[in-house]
Amino acid sequence: MSDTRDTLDARDATDASLIGRTIRDKYVMIRRLGEGGMGRVYLAELEKARARKFAVKLLRPELTGDASFRRRFHDEAQHQAGLDHENIVEMVDYFELNGDYYLVLDYVDGQPLSDMIEAQQGKGLPEKQALSIITGVLSGLDCAHQKGIVHRDVKPSNVLVDARGRARITDFGIATDALGLTRTRGGQVIGTPEYMSPEQLSGHAAIDHRSDVFSAGVMLYQMLTGQLPFNGDSFQSIQAQQVSSPVPNPRSVNPKIPKRLAEIVRRAMQKSPADRFHGGPQFIAAIESYRRRGTWKYVMVSACVLAAAGVYVAQATVVNMHVVREAVHTAAHDYNILCREQQLKVKNQNGKAISDKAGESDLSETFTRNIRRNDQNMRRGAREYGDVFEKMTQINQWTVRHALNEVDPVPDMAPVRQAVAADYDAYTAHGARPTVDTMLPRCQALGYDWKDQ
């Protein structure tokens, strides 16, 4: 009881020392908004423009007390400050002040998704609303994944829904990025077990963007049913269910959920990352297909049937074009992730060299594990990248080439699309399946440069 009292007293003292103050000569601290896994959050206003509001996060000492965290704070915060997407709460500033570490984010006048779910009292959200929210979340996550950032703590309390109904992801904490810690100094796992993927709970080294896909699947399950798929009285109980128990069917809780929608939820929650959606775009495509009451398999078969029957094949081309565009986007995404993984590997190699020189064996071993993880992720990424081409060969080449030649809606992705087109040509002409060794040389031409890192 005394420990709890001491903690509360410390929080009150910190609040008293911050509220009403102007920190960094620009942020006027107004009041405490709440407390999350990464630390306490305060409402602040810009001193010279009081209408501009921010959420200032004071990070927990358990995180900032770690030497590795402190070394990486500014570099990784700068990387995440580059996440500019309508479904992400933007980080606008970050700094260290008198030994405390702060993140400054745009203030969102919205409601946490966790409160919205709780207000339904176990009944779940309307399907249309749930699908709209999860689509926004997946879109924001894809933006982060394209930059090599894995959230690792996707859950309803980290999603704010604004007055327009738009979902905004928050807590892209620098303690949980693709290079970061998965545990605090005391060994505590970072994340909320009910939403964590089996590989996270198992302490697996190779955590990638598909871990966020799993967590998004759990969120969608909860939004549709009002209940969590796995629950328990202890971390160990939840861990055992997440890792070993069969993936539950949301229809067992809410029989009104259509079978096809339940299949989408269950695919996102598969135990093996390889059995889930490859990323946000594929997950979104499945939801959009469900909304139109079509499926990938149906589109692929119907095109062949229409052509064989002599029916006007333009119909087949129209439906197939959506499939190809999604495949091209997936391939470009996989290529981008592979290049980013190599960039992270070089950072780890440099960190290991510095650690070896300084005689820090424990830190050196951490970098060694990260390097092995980078290699595993790149091999898996190249394999999945090649799998996309196998799917493309099931569609006529004119449709594929038309999709490859389209102007990419994201300008930065245009060079990646060109690399995908070159690999598609090699695959169709010679059956040459891409490998890590054949893909990496193009990465520097795509804007990745790891020579000076």
What single letter denotes the amino acid at residue 93? Answer: D
Is 57 marked as binding a ligand?
Answer: yes
Task: Kindly state the tokens that stand for 306.
Answer: 């229409």
- Positive or negative CA dihedral for 383, 301, 268, 335? positive
SS3 311: coil
Report CA 181 to chain centroid distance, whole Å: 16
Half-sphere exposure of 238 (CA within 13 A, CB side): 17
Q: Which residue, 204, 149, 154, 193, is CA-closest to 337?
A: 149
Q: Which residue, 217, 180, 203, is CA-closest to 66?
A: 180
- In terms of Cβ atoms closer than 10 Å to its own Cβ (0-12, 13-18, 19+), residue 450 is middle
Q: Which residue, 402, 389, 397, is CA-closest to 438?
A: 389
Concerning whether 153 is annotated as a catalytic residue, the answer is yes
Helix (H) or strand (E) holding 235: helix 235-244
What is the β-pairing status of strands 27-35 and 49-59?
unpaired
Catalytic residue among 6, 15, 25, 153: 153
Q: CB within 8 A of 274, min separation 6: which ones? A: 380, 384
Phi, psi of 55 (to 5 degrees): -105, 115
Measured between alpha carbons, how far is 180 from 400 in angstroms, rounded to an integer? 38
| Residues annotated within a binding site for ATP | 57
Return the active site residues. Answer: 153
